[in-house]
């Protein structure tokens, strides 16, 4: 019986943790114009906020262009030498995971693309905190959030149930 309780508590805990909101976003660079010359990617990015764990999705002609990450100086001068990373995988459909809060400087080092405007600088920030919960109108009732419920009830129940099955 105790093993069933452990399994049920574990399943409920896994469900609650999996049900949390994922805020990462996949940005298609250039929207429907993709990664091509003669597009101002500074204007494309100016009204966007890039957060930790977002993704940049580059779509381009694989035989003409690429996606490399360079430092700021090489970004300004369109110098593809000594890249920090080469994000091109050969299909012209590349993802850049924004997994560090910092500036990313991305250019096309092939085909003169950078000189044609194929350069993108983004600042990756920590996500904003979630909005505060609305105040409870009935102060006599005590409510628990899902995370509070999980930490205050499910985890201790699972631990006690697991310990109880050993003795």
Give tens-digit pLDDT for 34-54. 999 999 999 999 999 999 999
Distances (CA, A) of 114 to 85, 96, 163: 16, 17, 61
| pTM passes above 0.85 | no
Greatest distance between any 2 Cα atoms in the chain: 71
Task: Please check whether residue 159 lies inside any domain of the structure.
Answer: yes
Clarify whether residues 73 and 149 are in a common domain. Answer: no
Question: What gap in Å lies between CA 26 and CA 111, rounded to an integer?
Answer: 26
Confidence label for 8 from pLDDT (cuts 50, 70 and 90): very low
Where in the sequence is the domain holding 13, given as residue range(s)? Answer: 2-20+144-166
CA dist., res. 95 & res. 66, Å (int):
12
Place of tokens 């194929």: 118
65 and 116 within one domain: yes
């Amino acid at each position: 019986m105790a093993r069933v309780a452990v399994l049920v508590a574990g399943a409920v805990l896994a469900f609650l943790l999996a049900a949390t909101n994922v805020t990462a976003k996949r940005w298609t660079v250039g929207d429907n114009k993709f990664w091509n010359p003669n597009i101002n990617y500074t204007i494309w990015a100016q009204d966007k906020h890039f957060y930790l764990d977002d993704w940049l999705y580059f779509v381009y002609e694989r035989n003409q262009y690429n996606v490399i990450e360079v430092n700021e100086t090489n970004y300004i001068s369109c110098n593809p030498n000594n890249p920090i990373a080469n994000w091109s995988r050969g299909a012209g459909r590349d993802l850049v995971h924004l997994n560090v809060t910092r500036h990313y400087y991305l250019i096309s080092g092939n085909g003169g693309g950078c000189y044609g405007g194929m350069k993108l600088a983004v600042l990756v920030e920590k996500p904003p905190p979630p909005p505060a919960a609305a105040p409870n109108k009935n102060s006599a009732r005590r409510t628990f959030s899902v995370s509070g419920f999980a930490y205050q009830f499910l985890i201790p129940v699972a631990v006690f149930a697991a310990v109880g099955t050993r003795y």
